[in-house]
Structure 1
Amino acid sequence: MTSCTNTVGNSGEGSHDFARVRRIVKTDEFSSVFRLRPTQKTAHFVLYTRQNDLPHARLGVVVAKRFAPRAATRNTIKRVTRELFRISALQPVDCVVRLAKAVNSKAGPATTAQLKAELRAELTRLFAAQRVRKAP
């Protein structure tokens, strides 16, 4: 029998879980971040941020079906975004990452290793720029 270590109480600094307290889930929370102008843009993503009063950063991910028609592609994008958010040491901000351009191409499926690497590089740049910008 194994024990589950992914609990809300285990969501301290350096934790590798993605507890509910670190997510933006309510429509009002998404809307309050979207009301502000985009903080940064890359080839495929737009990042919106807003300061919060919590001791940690929170993340919301929006991947529209029109930009990534396959569920496997949308899930891959969300998974990579959450992974990079977890390892980024961000100040207390609410971040919403939105896919703003189609990732499918006629050259190949949208879940190729090359596409994953490109998306990972873009997201890394977004979070790294936030870390530098919000540093005291």
Structure 2
Amino acid sequence: MDSLQTNGSTGEGSHDFARARRIIKTDEFSSVFRLRPAQKSAHFVLYTRPNQLPHARLGVVVAKRFAPRAVTRNTIKRVTRELFRVTALPPIDCVVRLSRPVNSKDQPATTAKLKVELRQELTRLFASQKKAKFPVNPAK
């Protein structure tokens, strides 16, 4: 744990993706999925839920049926995490789920055009949450 602190990942508003900023457990994903989608785009669905933490957390779900190649799935996850790190969000749990195919096996696994389109979609989704009003949770 000390190695995380020495890397400067504990500062509020830092641009890291430490374990504390991830949704990892199945029950955490389930509790966010139970709510209605906050926003939809051409390829993604964003689910959100207020949390009791001083920062936002992210979970990413990329199904193999919508992105058959591992290269494509990893690119989607990488772009999503990158945008999450640089976007100042309120203290919410966000789950980004790929909901439609981004390419087929006939096309290249990843292209510059695909990355630009994904960034644009995800930027819009995260921007919509910066403006959203969430109930303030009293500190425990």
* TM-score of the aligned structures, taking structure 2 as reference length: 0.87
Cα distance between partner residues in 2 of 1:109 and 1:48 = 29
Q: Do the aligned residues in 2 keep the contact of 1:6 with 1:19 (CA within 8 Å)?
A: no
What's the CA shift for 1:106?
Answer: 6.9
**Unaligned 5+ runs, structure 2:** none
Aligned residue in 1 for 2:71: 72
Q: Aligned-pair distance for 1:36?
A: 0.2
Render the CA deviation track for 1:44-97: whole Å, top value 9, x for unaligned: 000000000000000000000000010010000000000000001000000000
Distance in 2, Cα, partners of 1:80 & 1:20: 17
C-alpha distance in 2, partners of 1:120/1:37?
23
Counterpart of 1:21 in structure 2 is 20
Aligned to 1:57: 56
How many positions carry a matched residue from both structures?
132
Aligned to 1:101: 100
Report the residue type matching 1:122 in the other structure. E
Matched, 1:37 2:20: no
Distance 2:115 2:3 in 1: 26
Deviation sequence 1:80-136 (CA, Å, 0-9, x none):
000000001000000000000001147731401001100000000000010011389
1:103 and 1:64 map into 2 onto residues whose CA distance is 11
Moved more, 61-70 or 98-107: 98-107
RMSD: 2.0
> Bigger CA drift: 28-37 or 100-109?
100-109
Q: TM-score, normalised by structure 1?
A: 0.90
What's the % identity of the aligned pairs?
A: 77
CA contact under 8 A between 2:47 and 2:95: conserved in structure 1? yes
Over 4 Å off, 4+ runs? none
In 2 relative to 1, CA 6–93 (structure 1 residues): closer, same or farther, beyond 3 Å?
farther
Question: Partner residue of 1:90?
Answer: 89
Letter in 1 for 2:70: A
Rounded to whole Å, the distance in 1 between the matches of 2:133 and 2:75 is 28
**What is the deviation of 1:6?**
6.5
Q: In 2, are the aligned partners of 1:6 and 1:17 still within 8 Å (CA)?
A: no
Distance in 1, matches of 2:69 and 2:32, equals 27
Structure-2 residue corresponding to 1:127:
126
